[in-house]
Amino acid sequence: MGKPKSNGLSKTGRPRIEINWDEMAKLMSIQATLREVAGWFECSEDTIERACLRDQGLTFAEYSVQKRQSGKISLRRKQFEVALKGDGNVSMLIWLGKQYLEQGENTPPEDEVLEFNLPEFLNLDGKEES
């Protein structure tokens, strides 16, 4: 047997779009959607889906869940920094917390009374009692 016959034509089609996975991770950390990512890389959503499977071995949904966590951790960290320092746009941090960190305003029904038993040693001003 010899070589398969060639018609002399090279493979056609547009070149494969290479994804910069460091950029992709940054986009995921700011909660970018599939549509936004495709726009950023100037390709179709299907191309992003195929690239995830090809290069990462994960669907886009699986990859994005994994990578979006770092953005959520950064947001939570910033909330703590602002809470401790008292600077920054508190309203925006509250809104972002509600959107991405499941920090909703869960108010109990009016007929339900919540009781809190605080330990005697708890000092709300943060100073230690001797």
Which token pair is 112? Answer: 């339900």
Output the CA torsion sign for 41, 43, 46, 51.
negative
pTM value? Answer: 0.59
What distance, in Å, lies between the first and last C-alpha atoms of the chain?
A: 93
Domain ranges of the chain: 21-100
Determine which helix (DSSP H) or strand (DSSP E) holds 90, and give its type and residue range: helix 90-100
**Residue-wise pLDDT tens for the chain (130 aa)?**
555 555 655 667 878 888 999 999 999 999 999 999 999 999 999 999 999 999 999 999 999 999 999 888 988 888 778 777 777 677 877 887 888 788 887 755 666 655 655 555 545 555 555 5
d(CA 81, CA 118): 25
